Structure 1
Amino acid sequence: MANVARETAHGESGLDIQHGTKHFRAGALLWLPRVRWDPGHGRWPAVGRHRGNGRRYVNMVVRAHDLENFRVKGVYSEALVRSLNGYEHDPAAPRTLQNPWTRERAQETADSWNQPREPVRIDGHSHPWISVPNPPPAELQIDGETLHLAHYGTRGAHYSRTPPLVEWTPEP
């Protein structure tokens, strides 16, 4: 499970800061079921209580960077189990999760998601399978090639294959 981030970035260059998301308030608890289908890079299915109606659980697809504080927590509500199971729900076993993760695997995954990572662009091309820690290192080794940090901004770390220019200073 995770919480919706207090502040989420939207709009061009992420300059529009909002509290929570359109469907979930800031700090709302969201449960992340095992992915049955791929909603796209950086988007995950989630189950939580909607901003407009706090009594019912809804299934939505959320952006991964709008979530924070990932952790493992037990599920005891029949309504929540029904929402997490989706079409695989078995009415004969209303409190049984279908295809659950082991606690160890879930904890390892939550710990890895809590590490802040930044997307990488190399010479103007996005590489979604590569990420770097925040703040990014000045040099990055990929497949024996040294990449140099050219720019770091709101869209992640931009690396270049060419080394940075060195200023020449005359000797006195």
Structure 2
Amino acid sequence: MTDTELTGEETPDGLLGWCLVANVARETLHGEGGLELQHGTKHFRAGALLWLPPVRWDPGWGRWPAVGRHRGNARRYVRMIVRAEDLENFRVKGVYSEALVRCLNGYDHDPAAPRTLQHPWTRERAQSWADSCNSLREPLFIEGQRYAHPRISVPNPPPPEIQIDGETLHLARYGTRGAHYSRTAPPVEWTPEP
């Protein structure tokens, strides 16, 4: 038995299952070139708690299905596809609400078993995902390429220079969307002689 498993005596009353959760980032970048700064997203306010069911189909690169309370109606749960880069503070939480179970199940919800998650996380698997999502690694973008490098990420903060395939790349800018590297060296700053 691992440290994260609960015995029957340790299971909280009313627990219906475990789920990976995250908060919507305080500041998100949108628009042409990611230059438009927003607080939260169009559908979720900044800091909103989102429940992330296990991905059973591919919603697109860097996107996840999420369940949360909508910015316009905080009483009901809605299911949306969100960008992974708009999420932070991943962790594992217990599911206790039948309404949340219904939304997490989506089309697979069985009205005969309203308290049953159809595709549940195990606590260990959800914690593993949370740990990997919280690791301080940033996506790497190379000048002239629209998407992040598929195999390489850099530590946070990123190094000023890196070597990829024998080519030296220089840090051009660094922001919430990752580290952007350029093939051209930064200009040398002129300093007056005394």
Correspondence 1:159-170 to 2 at 5 A: 160=183
Give the match for residue 29 of structure 1.
49
> Which of 37, 40, 53 matches 1:17?
37
Q: Secondary structure at the match of 1:24?
A: coil
Which residue of structure 2 aligns with residue 110 of structure 1? 130
1:46 CA displacement? 0.4
Deviation at 1:146, TM superposition (A): 4.1
Query: Which residue of structure 2 lines up, in the alignment, with residue 139 of structure 1?
Result: 162
Q: 1:89 to 1:100 in 2, by over 3 A?
A: same
Unaligned runs of 5+ in 1: 168-172
3-state SS in 2 of match to 1:73: strand
Q: Which residue is 2:82 aligned to?
A: 62
TM normalised by structure 2 equals 0.73
Residues 70 and 140 (structure 1), Cα distance of their counterparts in 2 relative to 1, 3 Å cut: farther
* AA matched with 1:115: S
Q: Is the 2:143–2:180 Cα contact (8 Å) retained in structure 1? A: no
Could you say if the C-alpha distance between residues 140 and 113 of structure 1 is closer, same or farther in structure 2, counting changes exceeding 3 Å? farther
Which amino acid in structure 1 is aligned with residue 150 of structure 2?
A: P
Provide the rounded CA distance (Å) in 2 between the counterparts of 1:9 and 1:66.
Answer: 8
Query: 91, 103, 115: which one pairs with 2:111?
Result: 91
Residue 73 (structure 2) pairs with residue 53 (structure 1):
yes
Cα deviation, 1:19-76, whole Å, max 9, x if unaligned, reads: 1111111111100011122111111110000011111100111111111110000011
Give the TM-score normalised by the residue count of structure 1. Answer: 0.81
SS of 2:181 mapped into structure 1: strand
Residue 140 of structure 1: CA displacement? 4.4
More deviation, 69-78/128-137? 128-137
What's the CA shift for 1:147? 4.4
- Give me the identity figure in percent: 71
Q: Secondary structure at the match of 2:103?
A: helix
User: Who is 1:170 aligned against?
Assistant: none
- The number of residue pairs the alignment matches comes to 161
Contact 1:4 1:68 in 2 (8 A): yes
SS at match of 1:82: helix
RMSD over equivalenced CA pairs, Å:
2.4
- Paired with 1:123 and 1:89, the residues of 2 have a C-alpha distance of 45
On the 8 A contact 1:124/1:158 being kept in 2, the answer is no
| Structure 1 residue ranges, 4+ long, deviating more than 4 angstroms after superposition | none
The alpha-carbon distance between structure 1 residues 102 and 45, as it changes in their structure 2 partners (threshold 3 A), is same
Distance 2:158 2:40 in 1: 27
Report deviation, 1:159.
6.0
RCO (CA 8 Å, sep 6+): is it higher in 1 or 2?
2
